[in-house]
Structure 1
Amino acid sequence: MERRPNSRLRALLAEAGWSNEQCARAVNSVGAEIGLALRYDRTSVAHWLSGTQPRPPVPHLVAETFSRRLGRVMTPVAAGFARSGAPAAGLPGPRTPPAPAVRTLGALTGRDADPVERAALAGEPYRALGAPPPWSDGGDPDRRSAGRRGLARVGGAEVDLLRGAVRHFAAAMDVHGGGHARPALAHYLADTATTWLHAPGDDRAHRQLGTQSAYLVFILARMHSDMGCHGIAQRYLHLALDLAREVQDRVAWAITLRAMAAQALHLEHRRTALRYAQAAVEALPEHVGDAVRAFALAQSAVAHAAVGDRDAALAALHRAEEHGRRAGVGDPFGDYPSGALSFQKAEVHRELGDLRAAARALHRSTQERPAHDRRGLALTLARRAELLLRSGRIAEACEVWHQFLEAGGGLRSHSVVTAVRTMRGNLEPLSRHPSVRALLDRERSLG
């Protein structure tokens, strides 16, 4: 087939004011958000301009790159890539009205349960454009097929089983990391949860099943984020929002918005993170418990700190701590552990430049973490060690990093792997220091 120059891509480069090298760096950066170590340079872009079609998911990454630069949604076709493949079959595009949530749930988790399809889904880019969707009252009257034949009627027993699954998979994430139970959770959602959501039953049971399914989708999103797959994690969070809206659960809706704020901030989209964090707080119903309110306010505090709004950050943090003191523990979506709140407090102080206060809060967080939260403990220790090193306390930082290696051993978590790489990068220039040398020797022996 004759290769034709990509005039659309050339026009977009001119509109963006980018050189080939600048475009390549931007694509590499978008790829890094989903765990891809891309090494494109100006010659790569030159090949694309000459008509070369890069393999998926690169056309979608290029489209997302120009979307961010130009402030409007772009597609691979608009960038001149005709044979780009679908980023995720069964999922709506950026401007496509979403399919009913239960149907989308079955289509997406069915693909995610397959190893080959899961690898393809991992190439879905994180979409930085967009705003928090508005809440709408009323839900979807067609969210279930009450007269469907061949399915047993659902009720309280099925709701209890889903609640148990939420506790089980949330604990698996904490104990083993996001890479451990992803396939099992995808299978469970594709088979069991989807079947029950289609089965006949009363409206109350279906609303409760929808809420618990939204929480399971939320956990699956966290698992993908923990493995560095932020694009497909974002899709799952949007799906959790759709499920929450269909069953009119404003608490599940607000909790999901809060997670979207945390994801955006992790990827350095600070203003987007603030919009989602504010939307989460505003979405909370008046009757919501102290733990959930503290959970949303703590993320709002971090987001305000990240954009430099000190007064708003400290005010939100104060409110979060007040509610947190009255919160309980035990339910992964109804409680807020004090160790997690202390970590968010540390993030506020770190963003505001108070490293000593941040280190103290992180130390408290490590003491308050429950024994089963191995992933949370490991990441908290890594963050504390980084702050100690920035403060010049090398030996103390190394001691904490030793604890991090102990806590993180055996975890299947891209976040923990990234923390190890960060540790190594920070310490290698200091390798002559005895404490540093001993730590690096231990890390190499574990690898």
Structure 2
Amino acid sequence: MERRPNSRLRALLAEAAWSNEQCARAVNAVGAEIGLVLRYDRTSVAHWLSGTQPRPPVPHLVAETFSRRLGRVMTPVAVGFAHSAPAVEPDRRAGPCTAPAPAVRTLGSLAGHDADPVERTALAGEPYRALGAPPHWPEGGGTGRRGAGRRELARVGVAEVDLLRGAVRHFAAAMDVHGGGHARPALAHYLADTATTWLHAPGDDRTHRQLGTQSAYLVFILARMHSDMGCHGIAQRYLHLALDLAHEVQDRAAWAITLRAMAAQALHLEHRRTARQYAQAAVDALPAHVGDAVRAFALAQLAVTQAALGERDAALAVLSRAEDHGRRAGVGDPFGDYPSGALSFQKAEVHRELGDLRAAARALHRSTRERPAHDRRGLALTLARRTELLLRSGRIGEACEVGHQFLEAGGGLRSHSVVTAVRTMRGSLEPLARHPSVRALLERERSLG
């Protein structure tokens, strides 16, 4: 097949005022957000300009790169890559929909593909899409009712709602105990099969609202699992879907919780202003009746994003409000409580972003003590952050002691976040390798690798 020069890509490079090298670096950076190590350079872009088609998921990464640069949504076809259809057509919205969407049908399709190991690999290559302001809560919308006329299905009721609640507790605990890579296929299959069947089955409006809320929480957990494994593009799609489900059943608390997660994801990927917008939108969306735990959860993330932008006074004031609500919060429900250890970690993040390493270290020490025994992933990441801050503060011996605790806590976890934290710790330790404690910690890390 004859190759034709890619005139569309050439025109976009001119519009973006990019050299081939600058374009290549930007594509590498977008790939790094989803855990891909790409080493494209100016010659790679020259090959694309001559008509070479890169392998998936690179065409979608290139499209996202130009979307960010030019401020409009681009597709692989728009950048001159004509044969780049993914296993599942991506959601091209800049943000979640502002009108009711067939979220249950979308859930069945997306989760069904995700449950397949081959197609899951293709989904993992989707880029994180950085365009789009946070949505406002849409007026009107779904009733939560599904499956009118589907009399071939058994009627759903309290038993099905209780089973979905139990699934939420089970998969949330699996994430904490084993990491995001442990139960992803099982949860995707459960959503594609059991949850969607019940959402389509006949039942009263109250039942379907409750089923929709619990399904939104399960989608939220699956998004966190993917994010924990570095698959931020597909995680973002699931978060958009959780928003749609929350709107269809008119659950503003679930909507706000999901916006808060989107803020955390954006901040993790260094999209700080976007993170700040989503965190504020989450707080603004909270219904008046929401409990103290959910309010503390949203406010704590807003404080972190404010601190990340240098808004010191605002961040400390919002953090104080989060702590007030946290002290009054209950316990026992994955989406109805906010563990004190998690809140202390967010407090540490606020102080770290503001440059107060001593206050951050104190909050992290408290977070370590407060983490429940089953939260192995949370404990490991807290210890990793403590190690980082102690090294930055020059407290090498203490940092190494905590580093050993981190390696112990992180052992056996299937978590890209933990793997990344180990690599970061190694990079910080290697320049200090002459120190006996550092050398011992590095040797232990290598023996575990």
The TM-score, its normalising length taken from structure 1, stands at 0.96
TM-superposed deviation, 1:131? 1.0
8 A Cα contact 1:102 1:143, kept in partner: no
TM-superposed deviation, 1:138? 2.6
Distance change >3 Å, CA 157–CA 132, structure 1 → 2: same
8 A Cα contact 1:113 1:184, kept in partner: yes
TM-superposed deviation, 1:312? 1.0
Distance change >3 Å, CA 143–CA 234, structure 1 → 2: farther
TM-superposed deviation, 1:157? 0.4
Q: Distance in 1 between matches of 2:426 and 2:101?
A: 45
Greater shift in the superposed pair: 215-224 or 436-445: 436-445
8 A Cα contact 2:361 2:390, kept in partner: yes
Distance change >3 Å, CA 355–CA 142, structure 1 → 2: closer
8 A Cα contact 2:144 2:250, kept in partner: no
Cα deviation 1:317-367 (Å, max 9, x = unaligned)? 010000001011111000000000000000000000101100110010000
Greater shift in the superposed pair: 100-109 or 426-435: 426-435
Cα deviation 1:79-129 (Å, max 9, x = unaligned)? 111111xxxx99xxx999885000000000000000001000001100000
Q: Distance in 2 between matches of 1:299 and 1:336?
A: 12
8 A Cα contact 1:137 1:248, kept in partner: no
Q: Distance in 2 between matches of 1:5 and 1:141?
A: 52
Cα deviation 1:33-59 (Å, max 9, x = unaligned)? 111111111110010010101011101
TM-superposed deviation, 1:395? 1.1
Greater shift in the superposed pair: 142-151 or 170-179: 142-151
8 A Cα contact 1:291 1:335, kept in partner: yes
Distance change >3 Å, CA 96–CA 123, structure 1 → 2: farther
8 A Cα contact 2:100 2:141, kept in partner: no
Cα deviation 1:397-429 (Å, max 9, x = unaligned)? 111010000000000000000001101111111
TM-superposed deviation, 1:78? 1.2
TM-superposed deviation, 1:224? 0.1
Q: Distance in 2 between matches of 1:97 and 1:183?
A: 30
Name the SS for the 2:259 alignment partner. helix
Q: Distance in 2 between matches of 1:99 and 1:332?
A: 26
Stretches of structure 1 lacking an aligned partner (at least 5 in a row): none
Q: Distance in 2 between matches of 1:232 and 1:190?
A: 16
Name the SS for the 1:333 alignment partner. coil
8 A Cα contact 1:179 1:413, kept in partner: yes
Equivalences, count? 440
Greater shift in the superposed pair: 97-106 or 217-226: 97-106
Distance change >3 Å, CA 177–CA 9, structure 1 → 2: same
Q: Distance in 1 between matches of 2:145 and 2:220?
A: 19
8 A Cα contact 2:344 2:367, kept in partner: yes
The TM-score, its normalising length taken from structure 2, stands at 0.96
Q: Distance in 1 between matches of 2:232 and 2:208?
A: 30
TM-superposed deviation, 1:430? 1.1
Cα deviation 1:51-85 (Å, max 9, x = unaligned)? 1010111011001001111111111111111111x
TM-superposed deviation, 1:143? 5.0
Distance change >3 Å, CA 43–CA 143, structure 1 → 2: farther
8 A Cα contact 2:97 2:244, kept in partner: no
Q: Distance in 1 between matches of 2:155 and 2:368?
A: 46
Q: Distance in 2 between matches of 1:36 and 1:143?
A: 41
| Residue number in structure 2 paired with 1:241 | 243
Q: Distance in 2 between matches of 1:325 and 1:63?
A: 46
Q: Distance in 2 between matches of 1:4 and 1:188?
A: 46
Name the SS for the 1:147 alignment partner. coil
Greater shift in the superposed pair: 344-353 or 98-107: 98-107
Q: Distance in 2 between matches of 1:269 and 1:416?
A: 21
Following TM superposition, the consecutive aligned residue runs of length 4 or more in structure 1 with deviations greater than 3 angstroms are 94-99
Distance change >3 Å, CA 432–CA 222, structure 1 → 2: same
Cα deviation 1:227-246 (Å, max 9, x = unaligned)? 00000000000000000000
Name the SS for the 2:4 alignment partner. coil
Identity %: 90
TM-superposed deviation, 1:15? 1.3
Cα deviation 1:1-31 (Å, max 9, x = unaligned)? 1111111111111111111111111101000
Distance change >3 Å, CA 338–CA 113, structure 1 → 2: same
8 A Cα contact 1:100 1:143, kept in partner: no
Q: Distance in 2 between matches of 1:196 and 1:139?
A: 20
